Chains A and B, each alone.
Chain A
Amino acid sequence: MKDSSLWEQIKGHDKTVNLLRGVIDKKRLTHAYLFCGPRGVGKAKTAATFAAAINCDQACGTCVSCRGIQNLTHPDFHYISPEGTQTILLSQVTDLIKKIHLTKQNNGYRVIIIDDAHKMLPVAANALLKVLEEPPERVVFILVASDMNNVLSTISSRCQRVNFSALKVEVVRDILINDLKISKDKADLAVMLSGGMVGEAMEIASSGLLKVRKTMVDAIVAEKPDTARSVELASLLVAAAKKRTAKIKKDQEIEVKEAMSFVEGSRGAATIKRNLETRHHRERARVEHRCYQQALVLVASIYRDLLVLKENADEKFIANVDLSFELKSAKIERAQLTSALANIDEAKQRIEQNVNPLLAFENLFFTLEAVV
């Protein structure tokens, strides 16, 4: 590995990284941290690196401990993420609490990362409270949350908060182009649309959604509502999401096949297969869900561009640069923008509440067109 430390791989969070490295260097490690900040800026990655650094001062990335943490095989490293489709379950937390008191290997630290901690069910979060406040010696919790409104105040008050901010545009672009090998045009567009969230930008760039924007703009800009177009648009968005899950499904099938080749014929094979498939199913549902959220972000971005144009602001603020011609033809009132934004947020909520996405999108576009 080229880099001398895992820390070097974290981009754009210099201040935060310095703080965390300082904690290790000065030996002022406390027992609970809460990493908070927008989604997809590298919180979980930083958390994993911090976990490595707790057990290996340099976070070298090559020693047994570091590799164990990176591969999730370290015996004293626990990574918890939502196992329900949307939630971290009570059983996950109680299982964890049982393990906390076990003796540690090599007299090191036990590090627990709870990813998406804002998705902990209230019962689960409450069960964590006591142990989070006064855990056994050499146990460190790292909670990662992107939505502080859903983290209990009793949880957050027991942790040291580490804030993450959105990344600078250049940093995101750099990551997309150099690390993820995404073409420059696409990267630029994705960066503008994501507003500084690498994860988001990455997904937008690789989703088939960028192509749909033209139709979206047409629908929004059009003077007359066109039911057929709205229906088509909604189905396009849903199709894009399905396409993405189909792609994942292929990889998952290969994984199942590989796993099965190891355990074929042994007694637990059926259970292993079933568990794997349940996990895969949940993963697909999550990806699909994310895809819809991004589609909504794109819709909102178009309205933002319209607002920019409306206020005669600098055109560098337009996200959908390639469509600026179409955008300019739009006639829209500010009040309409407000209600459009409200509609989009409503659609977001509906989809979060498991409304059939096709219907939610159709409804959204119908109302949006009626507004114009």
Chain B
Amino acid sequence: MAYVSLYRKWRPQSFSQIVGQDHVSRTLSNAIEADHVGHAYLFAGPRGTGKTSTAKILAKSVNCLKGSTPEPCGTCESCKTIMNGTSLDVIEMDAASNRGIDEIRELRDKVAFAATIGRKKVYIVDEVHMLTEHAFNALLKTLEEPPSHVIFILATTDAHKVPVTISSRCQHFVFRPISMQDMAEHVIKVAKAEKVSIAKEAALVIARQAEGSLRDAIGILDQLATYTDKSITNENVVDFLGLVDAGVIETSIDLLISGQTEGVFEYVESLVQAGLDLRQFVSSILSYSRDLFIVSQVKTEQRLHLLVSPDKEVIKRLQKQAGQLGEDRIRSFTAELSTLFEAIKSSAQPRLAVELTLIRMMRGEELTIEAMAARIESLETQTNKPGSASSATIPAARIEPPRSGPSESAPTKAVDEAPRRTPAKDNTARDVEVTSSEADLSSPETKAGLKKVEEASSEAVGKKEGNGEVTLDTVKNMWPEILSEAKKKKLSLNAFLIEGDPLAITDGSLTISFGSRAAFAGKELEKRKNAEILKAIFSEVLGTKLDFSTIVDKIVKEPVVAKNEAPKREEKQEEGLGKESALDMIKESFGAEVVDKKT
């Protein structure tokens, strides 16, 4: 006969052979002995915990020709046929590939027939969670009150996918993941029977790797038996499963402690070259950091059995490393590694993700929200302190008007970006603004680009003042009125005018400057139609006739700001870009008025 996989060969054949499910096997054997077997069972639990096996044992027990017993004989015709799957009384159904309503109807039609050689007809419906909704519902009535010779056993790994109407009609048994200790013992037992020698430590490693599933554990044992020629050592297991050797992890922690970031690449390279899976590596280092955490928290010796590897030597080294790192860093390591473990699953470049995280861990940089918040806070206090270092070096930073940047650019961003923007051309524009807001054109801060015109203008200011004619100051003061008047007369005129900035008055002619971006607006203003309206507005608002001309600055222009508004905005700016300032921004950019405010 062909070779049969060990996990099939070693399927338990009686309740006493079931590993690690005492609560289930005891209940069921008692039920059989007391002749209290129910008509519907639901077995739920993770893979490899014995659901299907228990179902088969139950089927044998109730049908054994030597009488109902928790220890079926295994020799009678009924037991034999059930074991090799040819029994007419035990129907094992794969609900995952027969999941439709038709299959259930067929089953319902057949339940009426009595058992052949046994006493009961047992339907084992495996993977029952895959039945369709209709199929489940079609089963309901039969499941609640089947003929007296029928037992249903539903088995599933996903109990939550089974409708409550189904599960409430069944006796529900929950199978637990098998404990490491039980599993290791069983692995050793099977190995012995198969004449394979296995180290106890190796059995434990297998048990841990199997994560509660006995089938996985026996499967690994099976493979190892082939791989190692029947004598299994700890190294074999680690090597075979592609597990990351504890030594490798220890080295990595040492590397992290050393803080030599350039060594990270060499180290990760060596991992990849050794053929280690980076995901496996991350999961190993994560469980190692759990050990570190335990060591740093637990001071009493006897509690240390919680460790993954409770070995004295290992504990000593763990304690040393934990001491070097300190509790906080261990905690942040664990957090970083958990994030990495998730991220690496779908990463385009797992290697880069690992390297980056390791380096970040070395630098002790935490990307936690709390850390960020603290940093932001410190930055904020720094910038808000009047006369502090930062505000002295970048005076214009906070006077920067709310520009195209939307209000969602959080305060942090504004603060953060300010220093970087300063050196560029923005700087000039802003200085101009500072000047205009102070209405002091002869200010020394005025930049070269504007100098010539300004000199002319300051002269002009001096000259005109004496004549009692319109001065630049008056124009500037009246500018908002001019704008609103323009808006009433012609909306587009207002839009153009808003881009301009009254610069100087020479010989009864106002020079309006436009930023290079708004050169178009200047041109439009000079068109005859617009010019006439504007002149009319001037005479209306200012009371005198005033000619005008436009020039284009090479400098990026901010929208004009009237004198009295400037300081107000400065305050707003300090508070951060709140709702109010966003509103202001809109008002300024569009020259709008607030008609109604809904909050």
- Asked whether B595 is an interface residue with its Cβ less than 8 Å from the other chain, the reply is no
Which residues 269-308 in B have Cβ within 8 Å of A in the complex? 269, 272-273, 275-277
- Asked whether A337 is an interface residue with its Cβ less than 8 Å from the other chain, the reply is yes
Which residues 338-366 in B have Cβ within 8 Å of A in the complex? 343, 345-349, 351-353, 355-356, 359-360, 363, 365
Q: Could you mark each residue 275-312 of chain A with 1 if its beta carbon is under 8 Å from any beta carbon of chain B, else 0?
A: 00000000000000000010011001101100110011
**Which residues does chain A contribute within 8 Å of B367, judged by CB atoms?**
335, 338
**Which residues does chain B contribute within 8 Å of A19, judged by CB atoms?**
223, 226-227
Which residues 93-141 in B have Cβ within 8 Å of A in the complex? 94, 96-97, 99, 126-127, 129-130
Contact among A137, A168, A293, A301 with B273 in the assembled complex (CB-CB below 8 Å): A168
User: Are the CB atoms of B363 and A308 closer together than 8 Å?
Assistant: no
Which residues 311-328 in A have Cβ within 8 Å of B in the complex? 311-314, 317
- Asked whether B252 is an interface residue with its Cβ less than 8 Å from the other chain, the reply is no
Q: Could you mark each residue 332-343 of chain A with 1 if its beta carbon is under 8 Å from any beta carbon of chain B, else 0?
A: 001101100110
- Asked whether A4 is an interface residue with its Cβ less than 8 Å from the other chain, the reply is no
- Asked whether B48 is an interface residue with its Cβ less than 8 Å from the other chain, the reply is yes
User: Are the CB atoms of B265 and A317 closer together than 8 Å?
Assistant: yes
**Which residues does chain B contribute within 8 Å of A133, judged by CB atoms?**
8
Chain A interface SS verdict (over half):
helix
Specify the chain B residue showing the minimal Cβ separation from A38. B277
* Cα(A26)–Cα(B229), bound, Å: 9
User: Are the CB atoms of B2 and A153 closer together than 8 Å?
Assistant: no
- Asked whether A129 is an interface residue with its Cβ less than 8 Å from the other chain, the reply is yes
- Asked whether A211 is an interface residue with its Cβ less than 8 Å from the other chain, the reply is no
User: Are the CB atoms of B356 and A338 closer together than 8 Å?
Assistant: yes
**Which residues does chain B contribute within 8 Å of A338, judged by CB atoms?**
356, 360, 367
* Cα(A334)–Cα(B363), bound, Å: 10
User: Are the CB atoms of B345 and A149 closer together than 8 Å?
Assistant: yes
**Which residues does chain B contribute within 8 Å of A334, judged by CB atoms?**
356, 359-360, 363, 365
- Asked whether A247 is an interface residue with its Cβ less than 8 Å from the other chain, the reply is no
Specify the chain A residue showing the minimal Cβ separation from B280. A163
**Which residues does chain A contribute within 8 Å of B343, judged by CB atoms?**
342, 345
User: Are the CB atoms of B226 and A130 closer together than 8 Å?
Assistant: no
User: Are the CB atoms of A348 and B130 closer together than 8 Å?
Assistant: no
* Cα(A31)–Cα(B8), bound, Å: 10
Q: How far is the CB of B51 from chain A (nearest CB, A)?
A: 11
User: Are the CB atoms of A300 and B349 closer together than 8 Å?
Assistant: yes
* Cα(A31)–Cα(B219), bound, Å: 11
B8, B85, B349 — which one has the most chain A CB atoms within 10 A of its CB? Answer: B349
**Which residues does chain B contribute within 8 Å of A154, judged by CB atoms?**
47, 157
Q: How far is the CB of B360 from chain A (nearest CB, A)?
A: 7
Contact among B48, B96, B227, B360 with A130 in the assembled complex (CB-CB below 8 Å): B96
User: Are the CB atoms of A137 and B265 closer together than 8 Å?
Assistant: no
Q: How far is the CB of B62 from chain A (nearest CB, A)?
A: 22
User: Are the CB atoms of B276 and A307 closer together than 8 Å?
Assistant: no
**Which residues does chain A contribute within 8 Å of B215, judged by CB atoms?**
157-158
* Cα(A38)–Cα(B363), bound, Å: 30
Q: Could you mark each residue 153-179 of chain A with 1 if its beta carbon is under 8 Å from any beta carbon of chain B, else 0?
A: 110111111010110110000000000
- Asked whether B216 is an interface residue with its Cβ less than 8 Å from the other chain, the reply is yes
- Asked whether A62 is an interface residue with its Cβ less than 8 Å from the other chain, the reply is no
User: Are the CB atoms of A348 and B351 closer together than 8 Å?
Assistant: no
- Asked whether B213 is an interface residue with its Cβ less than 8 Å from the other chain, the reply is yes
- Asked whether B168 is an interface residue with its Cβ less than 8 Å from the other chain, the reply is no
- Asked whether B242 is an interface residue with its Cβ less than 8 Å from the other chain, the reply is yes
Q: How far is the CB of A103 from chain B (nearest CB, A)?
A: 16
Which residues 471-498 in B have Cβ within 8 Å of A in the complex? none
User: Are the CB atoms of A126 and B48 closer together than 8 Å?
Assistant: no
**Which residues does chain A contribute within 8 Å of B524, judged by CB atoms?**
none
Given known A-B contacts A31-B5, A97-B97, A158-B215, A300 and B348 have beta carbons under 8 A apart: yes
**Which residues does chain A contribute within 8 Å of B129, judged by CB atoms?**
126
* Cα(A314)–Cα(B262), bound, Å: 7
**Which residues does chain B contribute within 8 Å of A297, judged by CB atoms?**
348-349
User: Are the CB atoms of A196 and B272 closer together than 8 Å?
Assistant: yes
Q: How far is the CB of B372 from chain A (nearest CB, A)?
A: 10
- Asked whether B46 is an interface residue with its Cβ less than 8 Å from the other chain, the reply is yes
**Which residues does chain B contribute within 8 Å of A94, judged by CB atoms?**
97
**Which residues does chain B contribute within 8 Å of A130, judged by CB atoms?**
94, 96-97, 126-127
User: Are the CB atoms of A126 and B365 closer together than 8 Å?
Assistant: no
Q: How far is the CB of B161 from chain A (nearest CB, A)?
A: 10
Which residues 213-258 in B have Cβ within 8 Å of A in the complex? 213, 215-216, 219-220, 222-223, 225-227, 241-242
Q: How far is the CB of B482 from chain A (nearest CB, A)?
A: 37
User: Are the CB atoms of B227 and A22 closer together than 8 Å?
Assistant: yes
Q: How far is the CB of B341 from chain A (nearest CB, A)?
A: 11
- Asked whether A85 is an interface residue with its Cβ less than 8 Å from the other chain, the reply is no
* Cα(A22)–Cα(B225), bound, Å: 11
Q: How far is the CB of B225 from chain A (nearest CB, A)?
A: 8
User: Are the CB atoms of A341 and B349 closer together than 8 Å?
Assistant: yes
User: Are the CB atoms of A30 and B222 closer together than 8 Å?
Assistant: yes
User: Are the CB atoms of B262 and A28 closer together than 8 Å?
Assistant: no
Given known A-B contacts A30-B5, A195-B351, A345-B346, A126 and B264 have beta carbons under 8 A apart: no
- Asked whether A344 is an interface residue with its Cβ less than 8 Å from the other chain, the reply is yes
User: Are the CB atoms of A296 and B348 closer together than 8 Å?
Assistant: yes
* Cα(A301)–Cα(B355), bound, Å: 12
- Asked whether A23 is an interface residue with its Cβ less than 8 Å from the other chain, the reply is yes
Q: A19-B223, A307-B352 are in contact. List 17 more A-B contacts (CB 8 A).
A: A22-B227, A26-B226, A29-B3, A38-B277, A129-B127, A134-B85, A156-B216, A158-B219, A159-B219, A165-B242, A195-B272, A196-B272, A296-B348, A313-B261, A313-B263, A342-B343, A344-B349
Q: Which A positions have Cβ atoms within 8 angstroms of B?
A: 19, 22-23, 26-32, 37-38, 93-94, 97, 123, 126-131, 133-134, 137-138, 149, 153-154, 156-161, 163, 165-166, 168-169, 195-196, 293, 296-297, 300-301, 303-304, 307-308, 311-314, 317, 334-335, 337-338, 341-342, 344-345, 348-349
Those 9 A-B pairs whose CB atoms lie nearest each other, nearest first: A165-B275, A300-B349, A126-B96, A130-B94, A313-B262, A127-B97, A30-B5, A311-B261, A304-B352
9 contacts between A and B (CB under 8 A): A19-B226, A138-B2, A157-B48, A161-B220, A163-B277, A300-B352, A313-B265, A334-B360, A335-B365
